[in-house]
Amino acid sequence: MSYALSDVHTHYDETVFDTDRDAVLTEMHRKGVELIINSGSSVPSSKRSVILAHQHDFVWASVGVFPLEAYTVEADWLEQIAALADDERAVAIGEIGLDYFQPDADRAAQERVFIPQLELAQTMQLPVVIHDRDADEDMIRTLRNHPASGMIHRFFSKARYGFAFLEMGLSLGIGPAITYPNAGDLIEVVRQMPLDRLLLETDCPFLPPQSKEGARATSDMLDEVVETIAQVRGDISPEQVAQTALTNARRMFKIGESL
Ligand SMILES: [Zn+2]
């Protein structure tokens, strides 16, 4: 079964796609993936995202510097991101955020890169794609001080943080993590969240569903995610999950239905 899929967070510019990138993307479109957003995580990968978005009509770009790249930025990194965000194929600032997974993470350095990008998104009236790993409390505090519209990508925090993000008006990117046994909190949030805040994403090539663990993830694997979401909610079909997420993505990222 294939659905009208949208994958709002991908990294098709990664080297693991170097040998067959265009073939894979063409195949995704043929299989019913109607919209892909390729996410930058640094200045170079943001450039690659914009180039990729110019090469495929159904691919769009998100540009930004993510927290683990915050330590190595060049002096003019923000100007470079702003220039890329101005491209007609760029639809969001991201992925940006905070990552405290490593105990020695330089939190101040991450914040120095995160906050100016939140401000850039506000100035340019673009949505943000937020990376939050083990940083929920600081994330909520930062977003209270620097309001943004957009999404928490690859949401996988405790349920109470999911509800807090939803209360702040943010959407949640739900992906293959929901197919793994440790997804209890994620399932609790997905069961109760308003459907107009639901977005689908793989974070490919990094996160395949459990049934394909170890494989290179691609957007068509969201089939299993929409089926799981429909199953845990019980009030919506997989087709409706896919269609709702596609409509939400087009609305958030201001992408027309021309394709
Ligand atoms: Zn990512």
Q: DSSP letters of 2-32?
A: ---EEEEEE-TTSGGGTTTHHHHHHHHHHTT
**Is the pTM higher than 0.85?**
yes
Distance (angstroms) between ligand 1 centre and the Cα of 141 equals 22
| Residue 259 included in any domain | no
The per-residue pLDDT for range 7-45, each reduced to its tens digit, is 999 999 999 999 999 999 999 999 999 999 999 999 999
| Residue 47 included in any domain | yes
What percent of the residues of the chain are helix, what percent strand, and what percent coil, each to the nearest 5?
Answer: 50, 15, 35
Distance (angstroms) between ligand 1 centre and the Cα of 257 equals 25
| Residue 258 included in any domain | no
Query: What domain range is 171 assigned to?
Result: 5-253
Which CATH number is 141's domain given?
A: 3.20.20.140
Question: What's the domain count of the chain?
Answer: 1
End-to-end CA distance of the chain: 21
Distance (angstroms) between ligand 1 centre and the Cα of 10 equals 6
Distance (angstroms) between ligand 1 centre and the Cα of 236 equals 28
Average pLDDT, the chain: 96
Distance (angstroms) between ligand 1 centre and the Cα of 39 equals 6
The per-residue pLDDT for range 138-172, each reduced to its tens digit, is 999 999 999 999 999 999 999 999 999 999 999 99
Distance (angstroms) between ligand 1 centre and the Cα of 76 equals 23
Tokens of 58: 């159904």
Distance (angstroms) between ligand 1 centre and the Cα of 207 equals 10
φ/ψ of 228, rounded to 5, equals: -65, -40
- Integer Cα distance of 132 and 202 in angstroms: 16
| Residue 21 included in any domain | yes
Distance (angstroms) between ligand 1 centre and the Cα of 203 equals 5
The per-residue pLDDT for range 224-237, each reduced to its tens digit, is 999 999 999 999 99
Distance (angstroms) between ligand 1 centre and the Cα of 172 equals 14
Q: In what order do the strands lie in the sheet containing 33-39?
A: 5-10, 33-39, 59-63, 90-99, 128-133, 150-152, 171-174, 198-200
Q: What pLDDT, on a 0 to 100 scale, did the predictor assign at position 253?
A: 98
| Residue 105 included in any domain | yes
